[in-house]
Structure 1
């Protein structure tokens, strides 16, 4: 267990006595995943399950493409020249953000500038595995403009772009909801992408802590094929590490509903869904646009679209943002709906993969799963180029408001985390704990580092710094945590709370820093905080 959790907390299990006894015998925290009793036909209600804390529900809202400095670089000081006014509470702790020196004499080619509320729609930056390493420039953190900047958005006149854009940031007048959550709950300013690279590796790290184990397959036959986009450093069986965004093999909606011919990717190994199933824990991944809009050529079609605040439309569902669809054990290839509202979270025909609307239905019915991962539709996921902070805020605030209005709020922890940095500037150099030596991809920041004993020598990390928050009655209030964490810390938190054991196979969950320091389990003081989804302002 993590040191910050405390010895007294380790001795107490929150759950019915008989099940707690089974849990203690079945799992030794911190070890590789251990044998557990066979799963019954139906998992137990969340409140009945043994946990090491009073938290019976975890909801992970997993956003897209934000570096810490891009949202929190000047926290808690806002300009208040546009957007929603923001005034920090007295004695708000400072974060490791953009100092006066970094704002006025930055080592990059441009100084960071504040983006206004009217500049919420911006160009998407280069967030590839190699480009992000190059921007780090061996740890000098001074080549973002040359290596990850995209300052012109071809064919997208509503998007803002100018030279130096990659350095720029928002403050509490635009990301108002995020700053208000930081004011009233717990924010971590020392959390990192588990590896360098884009969306899919980040999502895989969230659920397994291990991007090794990927294999490219033919989109029709699922026979293994050679593909250096999907697989880095393959072994003799074509299994290697994922550093890009191949689409999942076990998803009808991949390859633009199978109208394209790109190879797909399957993952070997286990994920947190497998461990939760063994522990009889209800869980689900809920993603916008997952519900099919029809069929074509024998495949389900995900055709639902929405427009962002600038009027740009995009398809809601992005297959490569759905990590469980890469694993045969947890995939729902045909996007089959749950058999009933009360079956959501159970092991039925949907196999734990759902539309966001299914989460809201289960919450309304009083049967929210113990562990839920929420992924916004594309226009609300925060990804620059087709989404933005204002649309992201609408989704995040709306979902948290719903949860806080429910009886389950009293035993819930909502985690706000991100899949990658989008290449946006962040001044903090990550501690590279696992090097890599691919001549075509890796830069000095990775090739000069050894790999941990027993780990794979082809997944460089930690990568860029990302935001991380915990919103809960048990959150420390107006608190900034400096514990070193990464995406696999969210995985580890779930593993520890439900006594699942570890993923194994060199997963980063074994080395991930803990999130317990963001919580006060003995004196819960994080009250409800209703916000306006459009403005992010406190409504009470």
Structure 2
């Protein structure tokens, strides 16, 4: 079924880490006319590294290429760990049965392991595991200059970072879809760290700012960072990762950088927000006196460019309407439905999409609980030219509060609707994950700028134009989605895209691809 798996462009050396990957120049793809694409749909799931879900995918750079040399985890002092640390608090999330306790995870070999191995933990895809650290500075410390050997050392979940799933197609619906279309196996998260920052990079290739944070209520959220700008200052001797997680190790692992960029989870200034409105004040706003309320952002984003070009677009937030109507569905507990996640709504941080604006009314739409409103637009053939869809929390695959299977089936169902849509014949669908969720991956990210790219994640390109049964080795990251939209609609480049490419080239890597190597318009 698979075509010959070759790079669409020559292999390019990445000087930073001594590895090789397909370069990012997409100009030689088999192409009639990219303008035949009328609709771009981006489905943005949560928190999985490539190896965690697709490590056994045929033809991909997966776990078959893992050796002791490129997978063994080091302790904080640089020595090889004799075993993986225990999975602190246990493998399964609080309240999930059957529980895999911390004691049951002792003495794991220092190597990747299958979470769902029947001879091991036998924790299947429909079971919610505990959450893992996925934070800006910690992610860089785990990557350790491209060696990916300190995920256990600088995390809070012990050995779980090395867990993956053996995912045959009968277990994972999206796996079957990846076999039919294109799977990108050299696609990296746009920024280091977590969901908040990577959602920002999805829409603007930019990092939010908190002006004068040192004189604000957020002053205690400023991280204490070493001179390298990439690691956190220690408050005490690090000790061994075998003795416990990173709790209390750092002087301050905050939400802000020393120069006041917001890199870890901050809340939107507008409702729905994790921070309530002030009683008696404007109920569409979040309380600005809370340290985690980010001031409205003014950077240029992809919506601005699309508006300027007269291209229709929308962000469909799963359960957006429900969250506006009832705060009890916001940021819930394990397996709560719909568990709307406020920091997964990146346009809700921008002043030009503030409550009461026509821009907001036109472009920030309710995706409906279980995607019902998004599905109505799909089935009716009324999707705008560019659509972003964010599944609600219990359907987004995020460890800690939901499982893989529920979200995977939800996205597969959406694709089934898209394939039957009147707009399908001219559509390109990109399914990817915002970040790695703290899970290890054996492939080093290329060295870019101070923001990323971070750890490798899965990405599927699903379209009548997608190469069939193809594994695309081209170097991509989250910003490649913006690059594709920009190319298709002849938009100016966002500043962050240009800066990212300049940094990549300066560090001996290639520029990021724009996804067109995954497509063949002559089909």
| Same fold per superposition (TM over 0.5) | yes
Q: Give ranges in structure 1 of 5+ residues lacking alignment.
A: 13-51, 77-93, 152-163, 235-239, 295-299, 337-346, 435-458, 524-540
On the 8 A contact 1:136/1:142 being kept in 2, the answer is: yes
Q: 2:336 aligns with which of 313, 329, 335?
A: 313
Sort the Cα spacing of 1:165 and 1:198 in 2 relative to 1 into closer, same or farther, 3 A.
same
Question: Which runs of structure 2 are paired with 1:281-360 in the superposition (5 Å)?
Answer: 281-292=311-322, 301-304=326-329, 312-313=335-336, 316-331=339-354, 333=355, 350-357=361-368, 358-360=373-375
Q: CA deviation at 1:64?
A: 0.8
In structure 2, the partner of 1:194 is 190
> Would you say 1:128 and 2:135 are equivalent positions?
yes
Residue range with higher mean Cα deviation, 417-426 or 497-506: 497-506
Question: Which runs of structure 2 are paired with 1:18-33 in the superposition (5 Å)?
Answer: none
> Would you say 1:4 and 2:26 are equivalent positions?
yes
Sort the Cα spacing of 1:264 and 1:471 in 2 relative to 1 into closer, same or farther, 3 A.
same
> Would you say 1:185 and 2:181 are equivalent positions?
yes
Question: Which runs of structure 2 are paired with 1:254-265 in the superposition (5 Å)?
Answer: 254-256=274-276, 258=286, 261-265=290-294
> Would you say 1:517 and 2:498 are equivalent positions?
no
Q: 2:419 aligns with which of 394, 399, 404?
A: 404
In structure 1, the partner of 2:64 is 99
Q: 1:59 aligns to what SS in structure 2?
A: strand
On the 8 A contact 1:208/1:270 being kept in 2, the answer is: yes
Q: 1:480 aligns to what SS in structure 2?
A: strand
Q: CA deviation at 1:362?
A: 2.1
For 1:516 and 1:498, the matched residues in 2 are separated by: 14
Question: Which runs of structure 2 are paired with 1:121-520 in the superposition (5 Å)?
Answer: 121-150=128-157, 164-173=159-168, 176-211=172-207, 213-215=209-211, 226=219, 227-228=221-222, 229-234=254-259, 240-256=260-276, 258=286, 261-265=290-294, 266-292=296-322, 301-304=326-329, 312-313=335-336, 316-331=339-354, 333=355, 350-357=361-368, 358-434=373-449, 459-504=450-495, 508=499, 511-520=511-520
Sort the Cα spacing of 1:478 and 1:264 in 2 relative to 1 into closer, same or farther, 3 A.
same
Give per-residue Cα distances to partners, 1:358-409, cap 9 Å, x unaligned. Answer: 3223223321111111111101111100111111112201211111111111
Question: Which runs of structure 2 are paired with 1:11-90 in the superposition (5 Å)?
Answer: 52-76=34-58
For 1:182 and 1:280, the matched residues in 2 are separated by: 33
For 2:519 and 2:165, the matched residues in 1 are separated by: 27
Q: CA deviation at 1:124?
A: 0.9
For 1:188 and 1:255, the matched residues in 2 are separated by: 37
Sort the Cα spacing of 1:508 and 1:354 in 2 relative to 1 into closer, same or farther, 3 A.
farther
On the 8 A contact 1:186/1:475 being kept in 2, the answer is: yes
For 1:99 and 1:282, the matched residues in 2 are separated by: 43
Q: CA deviation at 1:280?
A: 1.0
Sort the Cα spacing of 1:371 and 1:214 in 2 relative to 1 into closer, same or farther, 3 A.
farther
On the 8 A contact 2:70/2:147 being kept in 1, the answer is: no
Q: CA deviation at 1:176?
A: 1.7
TM-score by length of 1: 0.68
Q: CA deviation at 1:148?
A: 2.2
Q: 1:124 aligns to what SS in structure 2?
A: coil
On the 8 A contact 2:183/2:472 being kept in 1, the answer is: yes
Q: 1:426 aligns to what SS in structure 2?
A: coil
Sort the Cα spacing of 1:256 and 1:376 in 2 relative to 1 into closer, same or farther, 3 A.
farther
Q: CA deviation at 1:103?
A: 7.4
Q: CA deviation at 1:302?
A: 3.9
Give per-residue Cα distances to partners, 1:493-532, cap 9 Å, x unaligned. Answer: 0011011111226655755322111001111xxxxxxxxx
On the 8 A contact 2:268/2:293 being kept in 1, the answer is: yes
Residue range with higher mean Cα deviation, 389-398 or 480-489: 389-398
On the 8 A contact 1:217/1:263 being kept in 2, the answer is: no
For 1:498 and 1:196, the matched residues in 2 are separated by: 28
> Would you say 1:115 and 2:111 are equivalent positions?
no
Q: 1:356 aligns to what SS in structure 2?
A: strand
Give per-residue Cα distances to partners, 1:128-160, cap 9 Å, x unaligned. Answer: 112212222333222222222515xxxxxxxxx
Sort the Cα spacing of 1:101 and 1:493 in 2 relative to 1 into closer, same or farther, 3 A.
closer
Q: 2:35 aligns to what SS in structure 1?
A: coil
Q: 1:461 aligns to what SS in structure 2?
A: coil
Q: CA deviation at 1:231?
A: 3.3
Q: CA deviation at 1:281?
A: 1.0
On the 8 A contact 1:289/1:302 being kept in 2, the answer is: no
Sort the Cα spacing of 1:3 and 1:467 in 2 relative to 1 into closer, same or farther, 3 A.
same
